[in-house]
């Protein structure tokens, strides 16, 4: 449909072209994708994960995720602008949204609008490829009637966002090809610029968007290869076009990705649910971290003073040791022992006590349990104390632990003294029990103290 306005003395002429098939496809998509978005009124499928991350963003709690942050950041901005305070628990699929401040309908509307644009974009891409309008219409209808796409788009997940940006990137690079006869014009620069922008958005929403980057690169290389025999194009022009397009699809996505992660880290300032998996250097930068307040992380780990908080790690065996242990275990027919010896863990304790007796009838000391824990935790911290001293703080000036010194290790949270005595351990009748001594004011005999070897 074309509408032409004739020029007058006060109004210039213009021409408006409307593709009626595209309008029909868009209206059908909107009707199908937006129908009764408020149903169901409970958490569906991956909404439980996306919603939980939105709550973390609103509250500023640091977390780890397997996907880039842009999609969830966009949802967070919408939720925050609607007054969401970040306190909906998202405890599981099927949790009722009723009575909460979480604007799930607004977020579903955003995802559905992205999905509703996909059939229209498929139609437009087919036209750019030179296909017949009927074939383009069929491609749009196939996406419109795809129930999997419809189901994902009607819930606030990041799939439809990523697909929208990916198809826009493909459409933009095809537009840049079709305007190549006007190379370096405003329309050409706009097309290649938007290609880079949409590629950056796609990769910043889901890592699978990187496949779109490879597709766009292949389209650009094929176009340049086909133009090499063209006598109307100079070699200099082809080289400049190639450089400009490659720069657009590499530098712009990198800038968008880096900016997205900068915003991500700027928002998440508080200690969150995944602190146990973070390195100590990062954990100490978070507000509310459970690291000891007087603990400073140094690049030089060779000198330890009395009063220092330390974490003691049992490192995994080397490859040679593992092979030797495996051969020995095969000879003794005890492979389980070999598997245990390869585990890396941290010396750990907590407030629980050993049971009065074990299943085999043996008695314990009923003192505090000491274990080997494979994850970083606040209960892995121990304080280095001078034998006979009651102080748990750093001396002024600091007294460095030297080779051959005897030390005591006091648990950082329960203040129990690391101890071993002539009581069989819980897992072996021949190994001594290691425990947290219940009353650390009672002196311990020197053989049970730890000797430092540097």
d(CA 209, CA 207): 5
Summarize the confidence of residues 294-317 as an average pLDDT.
68
b/e for 164-195, b at 16 or more Cβ within 10 A? bbbbbbbbbbbbbbebbeeeeeeebeebbebb
Helices (H), 280-394: 280-283, 319-332, 335-341
Q: Which of 308, 286, 288 is nearest to 296 (CA)?
A: 308
| Cis peptide bond prior to 397, omega within 30° of 0 | yes
* Predicted confidence (pLDDT) at residue 127 exceeds the cutoff of 90: yes
Helices 186-205, 235-267: inter-axial angle, 10-degree rounding? 40
The per-residue pLDDT for range 433-443, each reduced to its tens digit, is 888 886 655 55
The full DSSP string for 34-81 is TTTTT-S-B--TTHHHHHHHHHHHHHTB----SS-SHHHHHHHHHHHH
* Predicted confidence (pLDDT) at residue 59 exceeds the cutoff of 60: yes
Specify the pTM.
Answer: 0.70
Give residue 265's pLDDT: 94
Give residue 381's pLDDT: 87
Give residue 334's pLDDT: 42
Which residues are CB-contacts of 135 (< 8 A; sequence separation ≥ 6)? 126
Give residue 429's pLDDT: 80
The per-residue pLDDT for range 205-227, each reduced to its tens digit, is 999 999 999 999 999 999 888 88
Give residue 343's pLDDT: 64
Give residue 302's pLDDT: 58
Percentage above 70 pLDDT, the chain: 84
* Predicted confidence (pLDDT) at residue 373 exceeds the cutoff of 60: yes
Check residues 286 and 326 and name the one with the higher pLDDT: 286
298 band by pLDDT with thresholds 50, 70 and 90: very low
Q: What is the DSSP letter of 85?
A: -
Q: What are the structure tokens assigned to 432, written together?
A: 């001594």
Cβ–Cβ under 8 Å, residues 88 and 102: yes
Cβ–Cβ under 8 Å, residues 358 and 426: yes
d(CA 412, CA 391): 13
Q: Which of 220, 277, 264 is nearest to 243 (CA)?
A: 220
């Amino acid at each position: 449909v074309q509408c032409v306005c004739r020029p007058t003395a006060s109004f210039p002429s213009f021409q408006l072209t409307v593709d009626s098939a595209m309008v029909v496809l868009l209206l059908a998509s909107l009707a199908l994708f937006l129908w009764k978005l408020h149903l169901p009124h409970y958490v569906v499928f991956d909404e439980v994960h996306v919603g939980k991350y939105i709550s973390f963003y609103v509250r500023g709690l640091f977390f780890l995720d397997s996907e880039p942050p842009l999609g969830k950041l966009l949802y967070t901005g919408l939720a925050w602008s609607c007054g969401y305070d970040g306190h909906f628990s998202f405890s599981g699929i099927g949790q009722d949204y009723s009575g909460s401040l979480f604007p799930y309908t607004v977020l579903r509307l955003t995802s559905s609008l992205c999905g509703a644009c996909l059939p229209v974009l498929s139609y437009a891409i087919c036209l750019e490829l030179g296909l017949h309008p009927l074939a383009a219409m069929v491609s749009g209808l196939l996406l419109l009637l795809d129930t999997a796409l419809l189901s994902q788009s009607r819930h606030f997940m990041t799939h439809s966002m990523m697909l929208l940006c990916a198809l826009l990137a493909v459409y933009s690079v095809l537009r840049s090809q079709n305007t190549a006869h006007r190379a370096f014009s405003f329309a050409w620069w706009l097309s290649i610029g938007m290609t880079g922008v949409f590629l950056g958005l796609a990769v910043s929403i889901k890592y699978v968007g990187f496949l779109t980057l490879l597709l766009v690169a292949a389209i650009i290389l094929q176009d340049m290869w086909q133009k090499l025999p063209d006598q109307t194009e100079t070699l200099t022009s082809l080289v400049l076009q190639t450089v400009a397009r490659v720069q657009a699809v590499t530098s712009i996505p990198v800038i968008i990705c880096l900016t997205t992660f900068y915003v991500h880290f700027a928002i998440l300032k508080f200690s969150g649910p995944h602190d146990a998996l973070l390195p100590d250097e990062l954990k100490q930068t978070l507000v509310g971290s459970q690291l000891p307040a007087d603990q400073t992380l140094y690049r030089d780990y060779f000198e330890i003073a009395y009063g220092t908080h330390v974490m003691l790690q049992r490192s995994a065996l080397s490859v040679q040791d593992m092979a030797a242990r495996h051969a020995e275990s095969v000879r003794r027919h005890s492979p389980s022992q070999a598997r245990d010896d390869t585990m890396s863990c941290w010396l750990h304790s907590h407030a629980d006590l050993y049971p009065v007796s074990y299943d085999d009838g043996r008695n314990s000391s009923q003192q505090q349990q000491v274990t080997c824990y494979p994850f970083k935790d606040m209960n892995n911290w121990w304080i280095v104390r001078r034998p006979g001293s009651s102080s748990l703080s750093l001396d002024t000036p600091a007294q460095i632990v030297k080779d051959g010194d005897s030390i005591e290790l006091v648990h950082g949270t329960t203040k129990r003294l690391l101890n071993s005595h002539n009581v069989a351990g819980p897992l072996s009748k021949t190994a001594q029990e290691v425990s947290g001594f219940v009353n650390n004011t009672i002196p311990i005999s020197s053989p049970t103290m730890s000797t430092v070897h540097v």
